[in-house]
Structure 1
């Protein structure tokens, strides 16, 4: 299982890297090293989402409790530990729901290092600030599993979720992605575009 510290370390590397191709390559390497059940979660986190885009759940909070801290107590956090904790937070209902959510987030924070808490807050707040847009993330997914970018874009449009595209690519490669079709009751994802530095870059890419 991938520890969340590795995700935080990736985030720090992405902050330092200036070029978009280098960022793409860093993300692709990270994705290739994940277990199949971690892929959708990692893609969601890289896009600063607590849950995949096709998942209707919401956390209902904007950051970790202000007094949340700790010394990374217990076993190291994994990506799936964080996903499970977010699911518990989203499931809280009824009287005192805010206190319940804060208590569950505080338990998560107690297991995290300061660096990990920083990236937990970025995911919760919906701003990763690493320079990786969803368009660039899709490019990394295509690179990671040898998929044509045009096919990955088409699959993203149909599946409505980059995590679903990545999971499909990891399981079945280019053929599976090329065969993606719209799913009932899943909204189509808007076409993803990247801002180019100049017109020549657009011509080179397309």
Structure 2
């Protein structure tokens, strides 16, 4: 994914929010909206901070030699993203597994990798693939599996307004793609409460 050209200051971004409020017929100087443009700008910078994180800095050497060759699974990692088509929230969870090949990744780093890709303007399909590929690249694993389950506010708050729909995406790399038994074990484990 191509990095943004330049990070705008919160103050400069706030000016765009101010103009948007005026364009919507609001008065950005009324009591309830005073300070909203700057708060919204800072919130958007936070929600898209994944653009300014690097995989190498995030992992920070947290790879450890291990003789384990059994599946490592981190389930129910909360994810919060923004739909790149409407800038509305995507809220869900992600399940990440890998089969180590001589090294394991620090546990918190799995969740941080999910966050790095979720905290961008995204479509869920791309996000799921980016997470899987990053885990594969970092660990050199024999295989990686990622399943993301999320609710999209762009589908719930506007358009078809379907409140109970959930999108599920999966990416299987290496052994998870090639071996139906390994893939089945992963799917069974994530279904368990």
Question: TM-score, normalising length from structure 1?
Answer: 0.26
Q: Which has the greater radius of gyration?
A: 2
More helix, by proportion: 1
More strand, by proportion: 2
Question: TM-score, normalising length from structure 2?
Answer: 0.27
Q: Which gives a bigger RCO, structure 1 or 2 (Cα 8 Å, sep 6+)? A: 1
